[in-house]
Amino acid sequence: MDVRKPDAPPSSPGLETDPDDFRSVLSSLGHELCRPLISLRAGFDLLLSDPGRPIVHEQRGHVHTMAGLCDDMLRLTRSYLEYAGLVEGSVPLSVGEFTVGALVGEIDRRFGPVAAARGLRWSCVLDGPDAKVSTDAARCQQVFQNLVANALAHTTQGGSVGVAASCQGDAWQFQVCDDGPGIPADVVAGVFSPDNPLAHDGASNSEGKGLGLATCRVLVSQLGGEISLETEQQRGTRVTLTFPVDGRNRTVSANGRVNDAQKAARGH
């Protein structure tokens, strides 16, 4: 099954909402939640580290649990803030010149040891000759790391995760494959939508702790790329990203999308 840049699910009848209003509410809510959560986390740290009033072992375990839940909430809240900022276009692109080999090498350096520690077979290769590309390396790495972390999180011990990159003509590709359980057919169409639990952050190793895949979709679009997904239950998943070799002179509009002149120049 192949899904390309899925659209957001249709809104429910009678619940039409201006997207700009929704993003504004999302951003405001995120900021309002962060402040008390940070204070609460600091309070837990104080309880755990105060030598003058030590807590008993059983209480310490409960406090550690609550501190962990607070960390999860902060991670979730920050991911919503990040998503809202990206969609609003408030985070400008920072385009430079990099080699595809260097971008892939960073992924190998970061995730090779993680895969080994989890008992997974790992490969990370550059297919064909290396090439220089103009792109925002930080945003590329954010997308790559999220996709690889997601693949590692959903692949059982003894399974395999592979990363491959290649350059051809005026485009370059980055692909992540795993032989995990795949994605159920009834949810695959909306896998990159923010309200789909599978769009949540793979780096957290569980659902419901971020907007990792939804953020990936926005980032890839802003970089002028395309994202496609192929999956088969009990056989695995392959995610393919395709980017232009020359990503210079790109700007993100107030709604987080590439402007019409740039789209026209690409023939879209």
Mean pLDDT of 8-12: 45
- Contact yes or no for 74/37 (Cβ under 8 A): yes
Helix (H) or strand (E) holding 175: strand 171-178
Q: Are both 110 and 72 inside the same structural domain?
A: no
**Residue 76 belongs to domain spanning:** 19-88
What is the rounded distance in angstroms from the CA atom of residue 85 to the CA atom of residue 5? 20
- Which amino acid type is present at position 73? M
Residue 183, phi then psi, degrees to nearest 5: -115, 130
Tell me the mean pLDDT in the region 149-154.
Answer: 91
Least confident of 7-11, 85-89, 206-210: 206-210
Of the spans 76-85, 207-216, 219-228, which averages the highest pLDDT? 219-228
Greater pLDDT, 5 or 192:
192
Would you say residue 208 has pLDDT above 50?
Answer: no
| Residue 33 vs residue 81, higher pLDDT | 33
Whether 174 and 157 share a structural domain: yes
Has residue 83 got a pLDDT over 80? Answer: no
Q: Distances from the Cα of 264 to the Cαs of 201, 225, 259, 268, in angstroms?
A: 33, 14, 9, 6
The β-bridge relationship of strands 132-135 and 96-99 is antiparallel
256 in Cβ contact with 218 (< 8 Å): yes
Length of the chain, please? 268
> What pLDDT is attached to residue 6?
46
Domain end position, chosen among 65, 88, 111: 88
Residues 211 and 252 in one domain: yes
Segment 28-69, tens digit of pLDDT: 666 677 778 888 888 888 888 877 777 888 888 888 888 888
Q: What is the mean pLDDT of the chain?
A: 77
pLDDT of residue 25: 62
Over range 227-236, report the average pLDDT: 88
| Nearest residue to 213 via CA among 185, 183, 233 | 183
Residue 260 has pLDDT above 60, yes or no: no
Q: Point out the domain boundary residue: 37, 66, 88.
A: 88
What span, in angstroms and rounded, lies between the C-alpha atoms of 228 and 230?
7
**92-96, 156-160, 210-214 — which is least confidently predicted?**
210-214
Domain count, the chain: 2
Q: Mean pLDDT, to the nearest integer, of 17-21?
A: 54
Is 6 among the domain residues?
Answer: no
pLDDT higher than 60, residue 15: no
Domain-embedded: residue 119: yes
Asked if residue 159 and residue 49 are part of one domain, the reply reads no
Residue 56: CB partners within 8 Å, gap ≥ 6?
none
Q: Report, as an integer, the average pLDDT of 85-92.
A: 66
Name which residue leads in pLDDT, 160 or 198. 160
Based on the domain organization, do 30 and 127 belong to the same domain? no
Q: Which residues pair with 167 in a beta bridge?
A: 172
At residue 237 the predicted structure's pLDDT band, cuts being 50, 70 and 90, is: very high
Q: Residue 171 is inside which H or E element, if any?
A: strand 171-178
Count how many Cα atoms sit within 13 Å of the Cα of residue 175 in the half-sphere of its side chain: 18
Whether residue 91 contacts residue 126, with contact meaning beta carbons closer than 8 Å, is answered with no
pLDDT at 22 over 60: no
**pLDDT exceeding 70 applies to what percent of the chain?**
68
The CATH number covering residue 162 comes to 3.30.565.10
Residues 100 and 83 reside in one and the same domain = no
Does residue 127 sit within a domain? yes
Long-range contacts, 3-6 (Cβ 8 Å, 24+)? 3/188, 3/189, 3/191, 3/228, 3/229, 3/230, 4/226, 4/227, 4/228, 4/229, 5/192, 5/217, 5/221, 5/226, 5/227, 5/228, 6/189, 6/190, 6/191, 6/192, 6/193, 6/217
Over residues 246-252, mean pLDDT: 67
